Amino acid sequence: MSENTKHLLKLGDWPAHQITAVLNLADQLKYERKHGIDHPLLRGKTLGMIFQKASTRTRVSFEVGMCQLGGNALFLSSRDLQIGRGEPIEDTARVLSRYLDGIMIRTFAQQEVEDLARYGSIPIINGLTDYAHPCQVLADLMTIREYKGSFSGLKLCFVGDGNNMANSLIVGCIKMGMEVAVACPSNHRPDAALMAWAAENGVFTCSQDVKACIKDADVVYTDVWASMGQEEEAALRRQEFKAFQVNTELMALAKPAAMVLHCLPAHRGEEITQEVLEAHANEIFDQAENRLHAQKAVLVKLMKA
């Protein structure tokens, strides 16, 4: 994996020490916010936020984060931008680089995010692609460390679709020294190259045997069965993923003090039961809150001169 720390395109680009530095800053910013201390570290700076998919947490945490840091955020729906009418990403990147100090983009193809970084001259942040969701995983790691004290000796079990969340969790957790087990149907496995990297660089397994995967897990993580853009496959996926639901019976196999995380939005009765979600609501909504603190730390690291 080659390093690229000017942007946050995917966690594989960041060395472990950069991830740790952002988590430490996120903890500090959270503490300070709770004690009424705000630093206008990005005064006069503007973040453009391009959305080609829906969002609650990502949009609001970045927009509020920029505001709390003394800067501005512009919500740029692809429906309104010329991108939506076919203006090439390389032109958009060069134009927006002359107005903005950073861009956060949520889109489909990872290549679009990589191209924005290649042709633009300002920091680019991946706010979710079909391949990765690095911002979410920084908040997830922050939450795990908050609850468990450190990453050392922890096992995370991801149950469900080997999609963007699973891909980024594998990288983030392995880089932080955690063991990762992914339980998914054989036709919905995470990215093959990422799994090979994980097996070489840490303790990693991926199988259909959900009971073996979740055994003694410290952290159980799940995500929707049909991601944004896969709505038409929802009915088929409900069949394919039936055995991959995080429910009370499955949770009995994890460690008694296991935490449950979900990036949200959640589909109760599909990937997680109402009972498990509500039993773990504290950590799941702390995780959602931590998007704000983690995003602010990313913004400061990438955009502060």
- Which residues contact ligand CP by CB under 6 A? 55-58, 128, 136, 263-264
Would you list the DSSP string of the chain?
A: -----SSBS-GGGS-HHHHHHHHHHHHHHHHHHHTT----TTTT-EEEEEESS--SHHHHHHHHHHHHTT-EEEEEETTTSGGGGT--HHHHHHHHTTT-SEEEEE-S-HHHHHHHHHH-SS-EEE---SS--HHHHHHHHHHHHHHHS--TT-EEEEES--SHHHHHHHHHHHHTT-EEEEE--TTS---HHHHHHHHHHS-EEEES-HHHHHTT-SEEEE--SS-TT-GGGHHHHHHHTTT--B-HHHHTTS-TT-EEEE-S---BTTTB-HHHHHHTHHHHHHHHHHHHHHHHHHHHHHH--
- Which of ligand CP, ligand NVA, none is residue 245 near (CB under 5 to 8 Å by kind)? none
Member of 52, 97, 143, 227 binding ligand NVA (CB under 6 A): 227
Closest contact distance (angstroms) between CB of 101 and ligand NVA is: 25
Give 53 or 118: the residue with its C-beta nearer to ligand NVA: 53
| Torsion sign (Cα): 181, 185, 188, 192 | positive
- Which of ligand CP, ligand NVA, none is residue 143 near (CB under 5 to 8 Å by kind)? none
Member of 63, 218, 223, 270 binding ligand NVA (CB under 6 A): 223
Q: Check if 135 is active-site.
A: no
Residue span binding ligand NVA (CB under 6 A) among the ranges 30-38, 78-86, 160-168, 201-209: 160-168
Give 97 or 245: the residue with its C-beta nearer to ligand NVA: 245
Pairing of strands 259-262, 219-222: parallel
Residue span binding ligand NVA (CB under 6 A) among the ranges 65-73, 158-166, 202-210, 293-301: 158-166
Q: Does 295 bind ligand NVA (CB under 6 A)?
A: no
In the structure encoding, which two tokens stand for residue 50, read together?
């391009």
Write down the catalytic residue from 7, 237, 262, 291: 291
Residues 115-144 as x/- pattern, contact with ligand NVA by CB under 6 A: -------------x----------------
- Which of ligand NVA, ligand CP, none is residue 56 near (CB under 5 to 8 Å by kind)? ligand CP
Q: Does 224 bind ligand NVA (CB under 6 A)?
A: yes
Size of the site for ligand NVA (CB under 6 A): 9
Kindly report the number of other CB atoms within 10 A of residue 36's CB atom: 6
Give 97 or 143: the residue with its C-beta nearer to ligand CP: 143
Q: Does 165 bind ligand NVA (CB under 6 A)?
A: yes
Give the nearest residue (CB) to ligand NVA. 227
Q: Where on the chain is the footprint of ligand NVA (CB under 6 A)?
A: 128, 163-165, 223-224, 227-228, 263
Residues designated as active site: 106, 133, 136, 223, 263, 291
